[in-house]
Copies of this chain bind each other. A is one copy, B any other.
Amino acid sequence: MAGNTGNPGATVTARVIAVLAAFDERHRRLGVTDISRRSELPLSTTHRLLGELVAHGALQREGRDYVIGRRLWDVGLLAPVQTDLREAASPFLHDIYAATRATVHLAVRDGNEALYLERLSGRSSVAIVSTVGSTLPLHATGVGKVLLAHAPQDLCREVLSRLSAVTPHTVTSPRTLTAQLERVRSNGYATTEDEMSLGACSVAVPVRRRGDVVAAIGVVVPTLKRDRGRLVAALQVAGRGIGRHL
C-alpha cells in the first residue's frame, strides 16, 4: 500500500508560496531538508516543487542549495511598494548622504514594525543590520521611534507592552520610552545609541504629507557626540523637501 491520500485542503499555490517564504534575510541559501522543515511540507513534495521552481527560473541552484532566482528578482521589483514615496525621496537621500557620508535610511511603519524601503550604504565601520525589504522593531531604531511617536495611540500602547531587548542598551522600560517619544514629538527628531547594534547611533526625523507623518528618514553613525545638530539639520531639510514632493 504505497498509495497516498494527498493533503486535503491544500492548494499547490499555497505550497509554492510556503517554499518561497522559507527564504528570508537570515536564510538566503537553503537545502531541501531545511526548506521542507521551514515550510512544513513533506520532503518529497518540497523536492519536486523546488525542481519545478528552478526549471522556471524562480529559484536557482547553488551547489546543493537553492537561492531566489533572477525571475523573482525582476518581478519583485515591479511591486508598487510606496513607489511614489521612494521616487520622491531618492534625490534627498542622496543629498543627506553627500552631506554626512553616513548610512541613510528611508522607512515606513508596517503594522508594529518599521519597514525599510531604501538604504544608502556609507563606507563607515558601523555594523548595519537593516536591509531593504525587511523590518526591524519600532522601539530600537531611530526611524522606528519617529514612526512610533506618530502612530495611533492603541498601536503605541501595544508596542510599549512588549519591549524586547536587542542589545543591553535597548530601551525596555515603557515609562522611559514614553518620555522619549514625547520628546521626539516636541523636538522633531529621535536618536538611539547602541540600542539596535553596539557601536551604532542614529538620528531620524519624520516625513510629513499634509501634516501626517507618512515615513521617516535617518542616518546611522558611530557616535553622536559632535554632529547631532548638523545631522538633525540635514535630515530636517531633506524631510521637508520630500514632503513637498508628495
A-to-B contact residues, CB < 8 Å: 11-14, 16-17, 20-21, 23-25, 28-29, 49, 52-53, 56-58, 62, 67-81, 87, 90-91, 94, 97-98, 120-123, 131-134
Whether the pair A23, B78 counts as a contact (CB closer than 8 A) is yes
Whether the pair B94, A11 counts as a contact (CB closer than 8 A) is no
Whether the pair A17, B90 counts as a contact (CB closer than 8 A) is no
Whether the pair B13, A49 counts as a contact (CB closer than 8 A) is yes
CB distance from A97 to the nearest CB of B (A): 6
User: CB < 8 Å: which of B12, B68, B121 contacts A76?
Assistant: B68
Give the residue name and chain of the B residue nearest to A121 (CB): B90
Whether the pair A133, B12 counts as a contact (CB closer than 8 A) is no
Can you give 6 A-B contacts (C-beta < 8 A)? A11-B52, A17-B57, A68-B78, A74-B134, A91-B121, A94-B97
Whether the pair B12, A13 counts as a contact (CB closer than 8 A) is yes
Which chain B residues border A87 with CB–CB below 8 Å? 121
Whether the pair B70, A73 counts as a contact (CB closer than 8 A) is no
Q: This chain: how many copies in the complex?
A: 2
Q: A11-B52, A14-B56, A58-B17 are in contact. Are A79 and B75 (CB under 8 A)?
A: no
List 16 other contacts, CB 8 Å, given A13-B49, A68-B78, A73-B79. Answer: A12-B16, A13-B56, A14-B52, A16-B16, A17-B56, A17-B58, A20-B71, A23-B75, A28-B78, A62-B80, A68-B79, A72-B76, A76-B79, A77-B133, A91-B121, A91-B123
Give the residue name and chain of the B residue nearest to A135 (CB): B74
Which chain B residues border A29 with CB–CB below 8 Å? 80
Which chain B residues border A23 with CB–CB below 8 Å? 75, 78
User: CB < 8 Å: which of B52, B62, B120, B132 contacts A77?
Assistant: B132
Q: How far is the CA of A72 from the CA of B71 in the complex (A)?
A: 11
Q: How far is the CA of A24 from the CA of B237 in the complex (A)?
A: 36
Q: How far is the CA of A12 from the CA of B72 in the complex (A)?
A: 17
